[in-house]
Structure 1
Amino acid sequence: MSSIGRPDPSVPFADLANASATPNSDKIPPIPFMRKARPYLILAPALLLTIGILIPFFISIYYSLTNYSFKYKDYSFVGLENWTQMLTDPLFWHSVWVTLQYAFFSTGVEMLLGIGIALMLNQDTRLSKALRMVLIFPLMIAPVIATLIWQLMTNNSVGVIAYALRSIGIDNFLWGADPKTAMFSVVLIDVWVNTPFVIVLVLAGLRSLPKAPFESAMVDGGSAWFTFKTLTLPMIKPLLLIALLFRIMISLQEFSIIFALTRGGPGDTLMSLPLTAYNEAFTYKELGTALPYMLILWVFIYILSYYLIRYWSRAQKNASGS
């Protein structure tokens, strides 16, 4: 039998392995520079964005410790004087109360309406498909424009809402001109503008749920409430927390709707933290006094977001069964 192609038994196996590995190892090309730099290039935009956020943030902290004013060229370091003045000012605590009220009522109503409407629209009917497109329209309107539209609709002379209220015996409703109804008015506009955001998120979650558990519950005779409580709600809880996180962050720093409708009035009824900071900076020209209001608002949002994200992580693990 021919021995062509067989290794020579007189040559040790280790020498054959080294001889075969040596030429191949010489042919391995060096790693190109761009390949080494690829991870850093991917992270570069995030790093630049972080730097772009942190620079004005730390500048704001610095100027909050000074008496910087737009009225004067020079300024000096005053330490915690602006912070102490803010924390001892009754206007600050009133602003905190107004901000929390606005965030609580607007976010709460939007979440309840968003979940309810999304459940009703989670049907494959012509009406639900048409309403899905119609209800998205308020999201396409800027909050300031939406406020102007509502001012026109509630005008006692030509407003369609004012006409409808007169038809049921309610005449000359003051809306934002009365301290008793001002909060209701701005919350109503916020709900009209931002509830579609919650509807879209919840509806997307409902449409992505698996059908098998719901079919099994239907076969076992489970009621609609039992199915929603034990199946639907736990599965969409992560999406609900995302919607809650975004809406409560935005409502805490809401400025445009309140400013466009009442400019914080009547009196100081709707003077939230953003509006108080605006007045201090651009009405009274005291930037050093205004910045602590915005920084304390950042502290509120950061703490709230931190705990909501932690709760969202646990809810996501529970929803995935891990």
Structure 2
Amino acid sequence: MVQAEVLWETKTSRPFLTLTYGKLFQEDPYFIVTGGEDGVIQVYETPTRRAKEIQPVRSLETKCGPIFHLRLHDIIRLKSQDLIAADSRGSVTVFCNGQIFMRTMLQKPAGISDLQIHETELGHLSIITGNEDGMVNCFNAFNDNWKIRLQDIGSRNIECLQATVSVTCILATAIAADSCPAVDYVIVADSSKNLHFIRNGRTLLSIKTPSIVKSMCTGYFLHFDEVSDPDENLTQIALGCDDGTIWICVDFEVQISSQFADVGHPITELRRLPPMGDSTSLGSHDKAVTEKLDILLCTGHFPAFILLREGKVLTRRKLPDWASAICEYNDGKDISFLVGCKDSTLLAFKVT
């Protein structure tokens, strides 16, 4: 039986829209970093006990709009964890050692709907953003790499895009397809129910999805004999949609013949959790196969999170409010994650 145990629960002294967790700049401790509607970033120490409210230890001013996304990564290549913030006006601000290192702003301001940091096996690093006006931008701390306007993509293999198409989510990952080694792609979902597979600034393929995709993650979610090709090394992409359904995309094709799950509410976040052995009621062979499958963590427009495997609900855990953001949490040994709720509650869970 899979369970989610609360490690600690607290509230932040200031409301937030998004959060991230990890080491910050050149400091050793792990911090909780939140972004607010006022454009201010608050940094909190990780609670060691349950406290009613925690206070920030420092603040960072972006001097921009409400912060929609935060990421931690060594962007500047100075062996420190830089902080990247994206906001409602289309700005991306990079902080290095507590100071603003760079800021990008679009000529036509539009809210950033997703932010991804992608590092290839060869060490090439990119910041990728998608905007509410349909722009996809790829750049790093020193150069602009490429940009694509979704409305300019030809209608080959897809229906014509809406007049006002927006980026709904992005996933930068390596994809292993049929008879091909893993290759890096930027996958962009839009408000016209399309998935665009982009490589080196070129859209190589666009496919239709059953609904508007709001979150994506890769993992091993289906037994290899359930997909079109009996090769378990093919990349599986979970698609969380605004109608509450979850689909799996394999070999550039959505498995529309077998819906993975339907949680009944719009989905905002999907995260992969590594597999755990809990299928004690299965036979030895079935158990061994099932235990290889990843767990899918799902949040959305409902005050709870859900853990799924094989499309079945393992655990549904009530939250004080809708989750505004989830991220990995490092407690040293367990499968853990951090949930930030819209009422400013922070909860850390471990999966057992």
Q: Which structure has more strand as a fraction of its residues?
A: 2
Shorter-chain TM-score tier: under 0.3
Q: Which structure has more helix as a fraction of its residues?
A: 1
TM-score normalised by length of structure 2:
0.20
TM-score normalised by length of structure 1:
0.22
Identify which of structures 1 and 2 has the higher relative contact order when contacts are C-alpha pairs closer than 8 Å and 6+ apart.
1
